[in-house]
Amino acid sequence: MPALGADMDEGTVLEWLVKPGDQVHKGDIIAVIDTAKSAIDVESFFTGTVERLVTGVGQTVPVGTVLATITETPAGPAAPQPAGLPAEREVPERPAAPQPPGPTAEREAAELPRSAAPRKRGKKIAAAVQAHPPVPISPLIRKRAHELGVDLSELRGSGRGGAVTRADVERAAAERQREVAPKPPSPASSRIRVTPLARRVAVELGVDLAGLTGTGPGGAISEADVRRAAPVGEAAPARETVPVREAVPVREAASTPEAAGRPAAAAARSGAERALTMRQAIGRLMARSKREIPHYYVSNTVDMARSLDWLHERNRALEVSERLVPAALLLKAAALAARKVPDLNGYWLDDQFSPADAVHLGLVISLRGGGLLTPAIHDAADLQLSELMSRMRDLVIRARAGRLRGSELTDATITVTNLGDQGVESVFGVIYPPQVALIGFGKVTERPVAVGGLIGVRPVAVTTLAADHRASDAMTGARYLAALSDLLQRPEEL
């Protein structure tokens, strides 16, 4: 059961869209999960064959519970290599596997010797830790290692007191590259992050973090990911002989899964129940945010005349379906400003800020029945306005219909709340952990404004920023709002 957002701790399988024996690809929707807030389409994290649906329709299980097992298909050379792992070295030890070794099979294999070996897994890890006394590794080195997919616990440092240096990491990466020769570097490998809890649990369970695919925000490896990768009591034997990976998203719709008609199999929550669980989920997350995040706030009044005139002119010639609403401009500007001020775009994890390498703009969508969802528009800074507009419309429709995808709910890097339509002048939001900033847009109102020494009536909007003081200072926030305002004065460049 994947964590579909920071506020989720359990989920109910509403429907399986696959059955054992089915081929699935990474990203395919394989199940529908009901959470406190909504029914959500869950995607497969792997490409392979569905082995077994473990969690049945109607069952409610905590995040981290195995939903199904998927045997990964060995990928060809063209397939993206899974997040970096020093796995290859261990391949010769592994028990005869029924599949030819491909990159993914090797990843599986890397975990196998440990579970198959007679000695306790924990010991191996402990030994490794002992062999390399805990010399502090700087965050920069750690980051570089993650980018290159180098497992720091396997490295012998050449720096002072055995400290691991940047050169060590790069050398290890180069060696690995030689061993693995023709594989292209994986785009995913540049983004490995691990939560502190996950790190601790990994040591306890003897799980090699390097072999894991993270499902948390920005691909971070969460505790759930680690637990999934660990052999579970009696369930483990199967994996010792066959490289089966426990994947999150699949379950058992005894009969034929019907892709249509959403809550056909298991009943989704009733309206009243949904409203309650929605409030509770929002309450937990927001309480956590206010408890953990030292918010600071800045605001600015932005002249919207140029943007609105430009928009009006543009829309005049267009069919209704192609018209833009002002929110599209605001979102694009917010995303571009986040790229200009990257200190606000990312996550507070592991007691430090990890900048995100793309801008996935979370959008607060209020549901007509009450409550809200915050799906992300992926790579919002790179989208044409018309594309951004259609994504926004699509997200709103699917959010209200309960058809969002799991990935959309987990990887926003910064969030926007737009209360302009609700008639308030400004909104100071509560940050969605582990993100570090939330932008608020108020209503566009006509106000007397001094322009060029004269008073004129202009449309203005108040923009606000709530940001995490651990990750940035108000100066950064001020730069963000200034950048946002600048962008909105040049709408033709958005």
Partner 1 sequence: MTPDQAQHVIEEALTQVAPDVDTADITPDTDLRDDLGLDSLDFLRFVEILSERTGTKIAEDDYPRLATLASAVKWLAGG
For partner 1, the binding residues (CB under 8 A) are: 312, 315-316, 319-321, 323, 325-327, 368-369, 392-393, 396, 420-423
Q: Closest distance between partner 1 and the C-beta of residue 373, in Å?
A: 14
**Among residues 255 and 422, whose Cβ is nearest to partner 1?**
422
**Among residues 361 and 392, whose Cβ is nearest to partner 1?**
392
Query: Residue 314, exposed/middle/buried by CB under 10 A (0-12, 13-18, 19+)?
Result: middle
Query: Residue 481, exposed/middle/buried by CB under 10 A (0-12, 13-18, 19+)?
Result: buried
Q: Closest distance between partner 1 and the C-beta of residue 396, in Å?
A: 5
Q: Closest distance between partner 1 and the C-beta of residue 320, in Å?
A: 4
Q: Which two tokens stand for residue 63?
A: 């995040």
Q: Closest distance between partner 1 and the C-beta of residue 345, in Å?
A: 25
Q: Closest distance between partner 1 and the C-beta of residue 72, in Å?
A: 40
**Among residues 84 and 362, whose Cβ is nearest to partner 1?**
362
**Among residues 63 and 324, whose Cβ is nearest to partner 1?**
324
**Spatial CB neighbours of 328, under 8 Å, sequence gap ≥ 6:** 385, 388, 389, 392
Q: Closest distance between partner 1 and the C-beta of residue 425, in Å?
A: 15
**Among residues 292 and 322, whose Cβ is nearest to partner 1?**
322
**Among residues 330 and 412, whose Cβ is nearest to partner 1?**
330
Q: Closest distance between partner 1 and the C-beta of residue 335, in Å?
A: 18
**Among residues 103 and 326, whose Cβ is nearest to partner 1?**
326
Q: Closest distance between partner 1 and the C-beta of residue 366, in Å?
A: 8
**Among residues 384 and 422, whose Cβ is nearest to partner 1?**
422
**Could you give the CA distance from residue 193 to residue 209 in angstroms, rounded to a whole number?**
10
**Among residues 109 and 334, whose Cβ is nearest to partner 1?**
334
**Spatial CB neighbours of 12, under 8 Å, sequence gap ≥ 6:** 33, 34, 35, 58, 59, 60, 61, 266
Q: Closest distance between partner 1 and the C-beta of residue 418, in Å?
A: 9
